[in-house]
Structure 1
Amino acid sequence: MSNSLSKAERTRQFIIEKTASVFNEKGYAGTSINDLTQATGLTKGSIYGNFENKDEVALAVFDYNHNKVTEFIKAKLLATENAVERLLVYPEVYRNYLKTPFLQPGCPILNTATEADDTHPLLKEKAANALAIWKKAVENQVKRGISRNEIKADTNPAEIAVILISLIEGAFMQAKVTGKTTELKIAMDYLAKMIRDLEC
């Protein structure tokens, strides 16, 4: 944490970091103020002195969790120039999610989307925006690959993005519910093969 942050900002950041895995694991409804005080070692008053309510903590935590996943994947994408190899980062990361501590409780978009119904419009909106950003990022990688003659010209970027996200999130959900990675591995192998088939 940077020293340029004020004490209040540092406390807010501390609360976000300490409660990030709690929200991602237990979900919004399943996380109580007691969970937050336990995770942070702070009093209820101290938490509410920095955040208006649990909603505000949840929204900040969603951004934090989502940014963590995005930055992790972005670093891996930028490690290679080839568009097909960049797309293969997705099945590789999610196949090995247990090796990535902040992904172990599950994908923050999936965890939030399954819970953020109309009773939590701001949380639902954040999940929808995160999904749109992910879809756009995949589409852009496919378009880039087409322009660099690395991906077949007749490939539909939107179609690839929808299928990639659906396979990852659907397989992730099965892994979470069953506690087994069998289906996840099958789906990620299939996704990797689908991506390799896009190559020129």
Structure 2
Amino acid sequence: MLTKAEKTKQFILETAVPLYNEKGISGVNIDDVLAATKLTKGCLYGHFENKEDLSEQVIDLALRMVSDKVRLAVSKGKSAKNKVFAFMDFYKDPIQSYIPGGCPIFNTAVEADDNYPGMKQKVAKVFRAGQEELVALLQEGIDNKEFSDKLDPAVFAFKMVAAIEGGIVMCRTMDTIKPMFGLIKNLKAELDQYSL
């Protein structure tokens, strides 16, 4: 059971996630968070040392939220192939993203690349973990004779994530989901070529 203080802190973090995802770390100021939460500056600083502390905890939550949601979607697949397809399908509508503003992994990666080395390391950790999970899933498919051993799990996992993350940005920029459907259909067809 959370204490009142813990509930307030969680409320602040959850309210700030979409702000950070839409405006970026440098685009959000404390007044944005205060306006969204309708809390006082004293209350906010009772839970966070400064904006940097708030930003770090908000990004941690955003990355955890999207990672958990993807894992939940993937876990519903009955086979390795179904699980990989579920991963792809999670991203089929980049306009109506799970967290408003697009993929927080990609958004944070782009902004953190040159400006926030600590945040960059957090995103790198999420990317590495995701890649390892996808590679393990594809390898499981090979071991279960769902896929041919000609499939290179590491190469396909990297290609799939790179294509989907790039597709999200392009679709959001062009304000259309149609290309993403084509991309996911194509990735599934490519994986199907390795199906036994």
TM-score range, shorter chain: over 0.9
Q: 1:178 aligns with which of 171, 174, 181?
A: 174
Equivalent-residue separation in structure 1 for 2:114 and 2:162 (angstroms): 22
What are the Cα deviations for residues 67-120 of structure 1, in whole angstroms up to 9, with x where unaligned? 222222222222222111111112211113445542x41111100011003431
TM-score, with structure 2 as normaliser: 0.92
C-alpha contact (below 8 Å) 2:95/2:172 kept by paired residues: no
Alignment-derived partner of residue 109 in structure 2: 113
Q: 2:59 aligns with which of 59, 62, 65?
A: 62
Unmatched 5+ stretches in structure 2: none
Q: Secondary structure at the match of 1:30?
A: coil
What are the Cα deviations for residues 125-182 of structure 1, in whole angstroms up to 9, with x where unaligned? 1111111111111101011111111111121111011101111111011122222223
Unmatched 5+ stretches in structure 1: none
C-alpha contact (below 8 Å) 1:116/1:123 kept by paired residues: yes
The answer as to 2:150 corresponding to 1:154 is: yes
TM-score, with structure 1 as normaliser: 0.91
% identity of equivalent residues: 30
Count of residue correspondences: 196
Q: 1:192 aligns with which of 174, 188, 194?
A: 188
Q: 2:48 aligns with which of 51, 66, 76?
A: 51
The answer as to 2:5 corresponding to 1:8 is: yes
Equivalent runs, 1:2-41 vs 2, <5 Å: 4-41=1-38
